[in-house]
Amino acid sequence: MQKMRSVFKSLKGLLLWIFITLVLALLINNRHHKTGTFNWTTPLWADQVGYYVYLPGFFIYDFDTKGFPEKIEEKTGFGFSLDQQKNKVITRYTCGIAILQAPFFLIIHEIAGFIGQPQDGFSGIYHKVPDLAALFYCIIGLFFLRKFLLFYFKLWVAWFTIFVVFFGTNLYYFAVDCTGMSHVYSFALFACVAWLSKIIQADGLKKRILYVAAWGLVFALIVLIRPTNILIFPFLFCLDCRSFEDFRQRVKRFFVSGDVLVLLVSFLLVFLPQFLYWKYASGSYITDSYQGFGFTNWKSPKILELWFSPNNGLFLYNPVFLAAVVGLILMIRSKLLNGWIILVTFLLATYIYASWFVFSFGCSYGSRNFVEYGVLFSLPLGYIFMQLKKISRFKQSLVIGLFVALTVLNVKMIYSYSKCFQGGTWDFNEYLSFIVKIKKYHESMEMDDNERISPKDEYSKTMYIPASKLYYLNYKKAVVRAKVKLEDANSQASLVVSVETPDSSYYWNAFRLKDRVEDNQINKNVTVEGEFWLPVPLPKEATIVTYIWNINKETLSLSKLDFYLE
Average the pLDDT over 290-304 and give the result. 90
What DSSP element (H or E) covers 89?
strand 88-90
Q: What pLDDT band is residue 143 in, cutting at 50, 70 and 90?
A: very high
Long-range contacts of 427-436 (CB under 8 A, 24+ apart): 427/310, 427/311, 428/310, 430/310, 430/476, 431/310, 431/316, 433/476, 433/566, 435/409
Q: What pLDDT band is residue 358 in, cutting at 50, 70 and 90?
A: very high
Coil/strand/helix, residue 495: strand
Is the Cα torsion angle 517, 522, 527, 528 positive or negative in sign? positive
Please give the pLDDT value at position 47.
Answer: 94
Give the integer Cα–Cα distance in Å for 291 and 546: 42
Average the pLDDT over 135-161 and give the result. 97
Closest to 129 measured CA to CA, from 237, 223, 18, 53 = 53
Closest to 557 measured CA to CA, from 449, 446, 445, 451 = 451
Residues in contact with 453: Cβ distance below 8 Å, sequence separation at least 6, in sequence order? 460, 493, 548, 550, 555, 556, 557, 558
Give the integer Cα–Cα distance in Å for 540 and 518: 39
Please give the pLDDT value at position 67.
Answer: 94
Beta bridge partners of 500: 505, 543
Closest to 451 measured CA to CA, from 553, 528, 558, 551 = 558
Give the integer Cα–Cα distance in Å for 556 and 197: 59
Residue 39, pLDDT above cutoff 70: yes
Q: What pLDDT band is residue 203 in, cutting at 50, 70 and 90?
A: confident
CB 37 within 8 A of CB 117: no
Residue 438, pLDDT above cutoff 60: no
Please give the pLDDT value at position 245.
Answer: 87
Q: What pLDDT band is residue 397 in, cutting at 50, 70 and 90?
A: very high
Q: What pLDDT band is residue 32 in, cutting at 50, 70 and 90?
A: confident
The values of phi and psi at residue 543, to 5°, are -130, 130
Average the pLDDT over 23-42 and give the result. 88
Residue 547, pLDDT above cutoff 60: yes
**Sheet hosting strand 543-549, strand order edge to edge:** 463-466, 543-549, 494-500, 505-512
Residues in contact with 327: Cβ distance below 8 Å, sequence separation at least 6, in sequence order? 377, 379, 380, 381, 382, 383, 384
Coil/strand/helix, residue 424: coil
CA atoms within 13 A on the CB side of 451: 18
Please give the pLDDT value at position 255.
Answer: 82
pLDDT tens digits for range 234-268: 999 999 988 888 888 888 888 877 888 989 999 99
Q: Alpha helices of 40-128 — where are they, by DSSP H?
A: 47-52, 54-59, 72-75, 96-114
pLDDT tens digits for range 378-388: 999 999 999 99
End-to-end CA distance of the chain: 62
pLDDT tens digits for range 312-333: 999 999 999 999 999 999 999 9
Q: What pLDDT band is residue 472 in, cutting at 50, 70 and 90?
A: low
Of 4-8, 25-29, 71-75, 498-502, which gets the smallest average pLDDT?
4-8
Higher-pLDDT residue of 11 and 391 is 391
State the average pLDDT for the chain. Answer: 91
CB 189 within 8 A of CB 225: yes
**Alpha carbon of 426 to those of 313, 429, 452: distances in Å?**
10, 9, 47
Please give the pLDDT value at position 437.
Answer: 59
Average the pLDDT over 122-148 and give the result. 96
Average the pLDDT over 397-407 and give the result. 94
Give the integer Cα–Cα distance in Å for 244 and 247: 5
Residues in contact with 136: Cβ distance below 8 Å, sequence separation at least 6, in sequence order? 104
Closest to 77 measured CA to CA, from 362, 381, 368 = 362
Residue 1, pLDDT above cutoff 70: no
pLDDT-above-70 percentage for the chain: 98
Residue 416, pLDDT above cutoff 90: no
CB 305 within 8 A of CB 362: no
Higher-pLDDT residue of 344 and 3 is 344
Please give the pLDDT value at position 311.
Answer: 94
Largest interatomic CA distance in the chain: 86
Closest to 530 measured CA to CA, from 481, 463, 477 = 481
CB 371 within 8 A of CB 169: yes
Give the integer Cα–Cα distance in Å for 28 and 285: 38
Give the integer Cα–Cα distance in Å for 254 and 380: 27
Give the integer Cα–Cα distance in Å for 189 and 192: 5
CA atoms within 13 A on the CB side of 498: 13
Coil/strand/helix, residue 312: coil
Please give the pLDDT value at position 439.
Answer: 54
> Beta strands of 387-458 (E only): which ranges?
441-453
Please give the pLDDT value at position 450.
Answer: 67
